[in-house]
Structure 1
Amino acid sequence: MEQHLSNFVDIYNQLSDKNLNLLRSIYDDSIVFSDPLHKVEGIEDLTKYFENMYANVNSISFDIKEHYVIDDKGFLYWDMHFSHNKLNNRKSITVAGHSQLTFKGEKVINHRDYFDVGALLYRNIPLLGSVIKTLEKRAVS
């Protein structure tokens, strides 16, 4: 199982808008992918999700900090680095998160991401981000 997780990470690090066909080499056709903002079922819909993601970001990469394997499950702890035209004045944003992967043979059948939506989105939207940062400062004062 360790090798399957290593292969998953290797492919993920190669992904771009130019080679989304690689998704089929790591995900089962009936993949269920979910994160705090989306739920996607099936490899075709997952490919569309990735196409949309790459179309809306200037850059994106993942720095895998730790990984573990237990039975048919893989756990990845990562930092995502990305920039987006409408967030944080196009400056890079870093969000920590982790993924729980369930393997069926060599491929992932279930992928669930966990991360702070505020760190990803809300704090980086013009005006709303300023309000949230002000509220956070008051909460710890």
Structure 2
Amino acid sequence: MSRDPALEAFCAFFNKLDKTYTDQLGSVYTDDIVFQDPLHRIEGLSELERYFAALYTHVEECQFAFHQRQRQGDTAFVTWTMTLRHPRLSGGKAYEVEGCSRLTFAPFSAGSDEGIQKVQHHRDYFDAGELLYERLPGLGWVIRQLKRRAGA
């Protein structure tokens, strides 16, 4: 199975992304990007750049291991494991979160010489508790206890 160039470019970009690279989001996203995850909905490239710049300010490590990738037409799905290290979460230790992204690529305009298709809609699916709430001092213990009881 051959790899999709636009999807591979997207995955490669996210492993370069850090606080010094957020101004390069326009290389993979359209100007009218809609980004959504369990915590936020962002519309427009300039808003997304501000969001990622703030998000990555204190991040010490953020890497993605991309797993399954599927694309049909302009819609793609990719599963991933994110390794994150932030001084205020999980005692500053690295931890992993599993997730999936649904991407919609913008069609090429007539006569376009843009090269790689850009993402026009990006939605992430992951457990917000696992990413954030369980990692906070005090609150994390409460969330983990609630999850254990719900699963019992």
When normalised by structure 1's length, the TM-score is 0.92
Question: Is 1:138 paired with 2:149?
Answer: yes
Distance 2:120 2:23 in 1: 17
Q: Any runs of at least 4 consecutive aligned residues in structure 1 with deviations exceeding 6 A, and if so which? A: none
Residues 128/109 of structure 1: CA separation in 2 closer, same or farther (3 Å cut): same
SS in 1 for 2:55: helix
In the TM superposition, residue 45 of structure 1 has moved relative to its aligned partner by 0.6
Relative to structure 1, the CA distance from residue 103 to residue 140 in structure 2 (aligned partners, 3 Å threshold; closer, same or farther) is closer
The residue aligned with 1:86 is 88
- How many residues align? The count is 141
Bigger fraction of residues in helix? 1
Aligned AA (1:77) = T
SS in 1 for 2:19: coil
Secondary structure in structure 2 of the residue aligned to 1:56: coil
RMSD of aligned C-alpha atoms?
A: 1.5
Structure with greater proportional strand content: 1
Q: CA deviation at 1:37?
A: 0.3
Equivalent position SS for 2:144: helix
Quick one: distance in 1 between partners of 2:143 and 2:21? 37
- How far residue 85 of structure 1 moved from its aligned partner, in angstroms, is 1.7
Aligned to 1:98: 100
